Structure 1
């Protein structure tokens, strides 16, 4: 039976072991407190300290997701994809919960190492790196990286000859993902022998195979075909007389919910079918959205209003150039609720039966900075709040300072079972 995280006792260990700095107690809440309760408490009790917009990172969600990963994929080690959300508090929590890390740049590596994480818990999962970045990885002891070209072999041989290689391959099946990472990375089947031989001739050790089926809407059946293709690469290396491979990296594309259950079933069955006789096999995954998406909630303040007949137009202090960048993708489903401090300060949660078609703009001067169109909202006033759920994946990491406006990335409050901490994200 997999070992699960103890929700109550582990919280203290997360904060004491993760290198968190500058944290302060914001409020004490029961374990049943909702994110809405937490946000209301923050706004009510610390109005002079609130720098809107802000986000809440719910560690209870992260712990539950880690427990589910351990239950569903007990043989797969999670290497969190830092690019999805590099919030230092999230990284620290995941490190304390036993996660490893998929980094794609020196900045990401440095963030993880700053938490006291050992470099052997990092895979440099970028198949194309500049020479200076390879030298940096060598200098800090990150000794496993991906490749998919002869040119990359030559660079690694020159600047990091002790580095172990993982060959990135391109899945042959179309997974239906909205973001097909195979357009940029991954060796074709007929390129595999040449790449393996090039690495072997260079005196570099190829220790495994990686792939990525794509993100957003990928069919979980695609894991089966990709794992079978990875098995053929293991066999090709063996036929070439190369040292036995040990790493199977199944990449990312994971989302929380029922699709994760479906993906887990396909992955477990494929590994059992195709790698049953592989002793000492190490299977790793690179979840990003899985851990980050549902753990963050964004709170934004209404800073402007205009009425045109039945249409209500509002301005908020975050937008598509900030944390809300994902709303420009038609697949992203916006989940929005209201906290009406401005209109009814003593009755935050009261409900109106009447709603109005509403447009919500971000704070910049670009008219494309539009968050919601024809969205039904109750009558709002200045200093009311809009709260957006599931705002952790590719949100703050894609935010900009366009027009001089920053996102909520620097204002993150950390919530856990009985305590809520406020902190500024230094990542």
Structure 2
């Protein structure tokens, strides 16, 4: 370890009181998440709206600005040698974030110890890894437009796996180990065809919150779906992509007043409610709204239960419908959500039957309701407990019983996972490795392979990044990383623990998997990473979010006229 200057040593985010020998206050409040957003670029044929500014790499001066308002030491005369500060940093990006405003751009290679002319020293505080330098010279921020759409076209029989392999080789030659996704838009297209075949009466309104990557949203728009938006930001995003307001449902029952006003101003009329206070807000800010009453339903068969937070109980429905009439508001239909990760198809039948009761109550009050929203809960994985076809059969039967085709009721749904879960594959790099001696048989668990050591690998992505689903998504609590090569049956396998890259010991990807020995620089792949991953990712410790490479076959590209 290099000697530390005799100065106060602190981590980013902590606040030292006074530097020894100097009375200057050195409070540090670095900006959070000020860069590394929207990794896949923007989706527009013209200039990008402000909220879709393309991501900036860590080398960009804009990404490294340290706003004066966020650091009280900006006027602390840092040119004086007698001010000495030590910083504990964990990644290249955080080093650059701190020192670039004072030193100018760094060279690509960062040493373990960097002396600074103003009396600063930085210790690159990481005991198990020092990532190789990353160069982004020549990199291109993709903009989806007729000239440069940002989607790679798979022609001449190439597959998404072929593309992934080529990207790994390309990154190896460029000394770039940053994680990335391959987003197979072909999978989304195939899911849509499957939906139309199995649920012909149900129009999907894609849940934007699940995955708002530009290429995904453009594909869904090309498929002529509607969009389930939950906030002003999501509505803005969809309108900026050319989606018309009539294809948006503002599906959130507790909305900020300013968001309701924004919806009104921009012609988004269809929105949900489940309580009287929401009706009062809507009556004051969007009196012409077309309201959908969300009801609570039995979600006991789901991994993520929503009815404890959202949805009116059936016993309160009559009062709410009556109150809406008193306020002069129009209620056009009913919605529900059986919960995410639903494992019981009959939950849909009961919920549709409950919705029929609400329609009947509305009829008695003179309402002419014409919309039924059956929500989400559809899995996008092939290994799910209940296949999509079983859900479809139950839903179709319930619709035939309670809402026959000649009833005049439009049926919509809000699928998210169904479309994108299996479309994304994550590629992460092994940046460090440890070997731990084991007592023989301690971790055998009856497996054939029982070496006397445990392997620990550290990836450049983890639970604070793409794999945040492991701690934030009850419907996706386990992943199965696999090698980017064929594994022979004769190869020795070792019990392996896989960690993420951050300084937090909570950042663990998997506690025990049996795989052949890996080496620093190897790549691991993780499938089914399209749902609630990108949207929940952070840049904690300054580690870059995974880039997204969307691909589609030439045939589908031309069929949907994506160009």
Which band: TM-score by shorter chain?
Answer: 0.7 to 0.9
Name the TM-score, length of structure 2 as normaliser: 0.66
**Residue 42 in structure 1 maps to residue 167 in structure 2:** yes
Q: Aligned equivalents of 2:334 and 2:340: distance in 1?
A: 19
* Cα pair distance change 1:28/1:126, threshold 3 Å: closer
- Given candidates 208, 223, 228, the residue that maps to 1:82 is 208
Q: Aligned equivalents of 1:333 and 1:29: distance in 2?
A: 34
The answer to whether the 8 Å contact 1:414/1:420 transfers is: no
By how many angstroms is 1:306 displaced?
A: 0.7
* Cα pair distance change 1:278/1:149, threshold 3 Å: farther
By how many angstroms is 1:77 displaced?
A: 0.4
By how many angstroms is 1:49 displaced?
A: 8.8
Aligned length: 394
By how many angstroms is 1:192 displaced?
A: 0.2
**Residue 246 in structure 1 maps to residue 370 in structure 2:** yes
- Map of 1:312 onto structure 2: 455
By how many angstroms is 1:217 displaced?
A: 3.6
Residue deviations 1:399-420, cap 9 Å, x none? 1222223432xx1101112499
Q: Aligned equivalents of 2:427 and 2:258: distance in 1?
A: 39
Q: Secondary structure at the match of 1:387?
A: strand
* Cα pair distance change 1:49/1:313, threshold 3 Å: closer
**Residue 334 in structure 1 maps to residue 459 in structure 2:** no
- Map of 2:38 onto structure 1: none
- Given candidates 242, 265, 281, the residue that maps to 2:409 is 281
- Map of 1:60 onto structure 2: 186
- Map of 2:536 onto structure 1: 398
- Given candidates 343, 358, 362, the residue that maps to 2:500 is 362
Q: Secondary structure at the match of 1:327?
A: helix
Q: Aligned equivalents of 1:93 and 1:420: distance in 2?
A: 10
Residue deviations 1:293-352, cap 9 Å, x none? 00100010111111112111111111011111223458634232112xxxxxxxx54646
- Given candidates 123, 129, 144, the residue that maps to 1:20 is 144
| Equivalences for residues 14-413 of structure 1 within 5 A | 20-21=144-145, 22-24=148-150, 29-31=155-157, 33=159, 35-45=160-170, 47-48=173-174, 52-171=178-297, 173-242=298-367, 244-256=368-380, 257=382, 259-276=387-404, 279-309=407-437, 310-328=453-471, 329=474, 332-339=477-484, 349=486, 351=488, 353-408=491-546, 411-413=547-549
* Cα pair distance change 1:301/1:23, threshold 3 Å: farther
Q: Name the structure, 1 or 2, with higher relative contact order (CA <8 Å, separation 6+).
A: 1
- Map of 2:561 onto structure 1: none
* Cα pair distance change 1:62/1:26, threshold 3 Å: closer
By how many angstroms is 1:178 displaced?
A: 1.5
The answer to whether the 8 Å contact 1:88/1:111 transfers is: no
Q: Secondary structure at the match of 1:181?
A: coil
* Cα pair distance change 1:264/1:277, threshold 3 Å: closer
The answer to whether the 8 Å contact 2:294/2:310 transfers is: yes
- Map of 2:12 onto structure 1: none
* 282-291 or 47-56, which deviates more: 47-56
* Cα pair distance change 1:228/1:368, threshold 3 Å: same
Residue deviations 1:12-57, cap 9 Å, x none? xx9999x824545768554462x43221111223543956211011
Q: Aligned equivalents of 1:302 and 1:250: distance in 2?
A: 43
Q: Secondary structure at the match of 1:182?
A: coil
The answer to whether the 8 Å contact 2:178/2:544 transfers is: no
Which 5+ residue runs of structure 1 have no aligned equivalent? 1-13, 340-347, 422-427
- Map of 1:7 onto structure 2: none
Q: Aligned equivalents of 1:188 and 1:77: distance in 2?
A: 26
The answer to whether the 8 Å contact 1:325/1:398 transfers is: yes
Choose between structure 1 and 2: higher helix proportion. 1
Larger radius of gyration: 2
Q: Secondary structure at the match of 1:297?
A: strand
* Cα pair distance change 1:269/1:383, threshold 3 Å: same
The answer to whether the 8 Å contact 2:455/2:496 transfers is: yes
Q: Aligned equivalents of 2:459 and 2:158: distance in 1?
A: 29
The answer to whether the 8 Å contact 1:248/1:284 transfers is: yes
What's the C-alpha RMSD, in Å, of the aligned pairs? 2.4
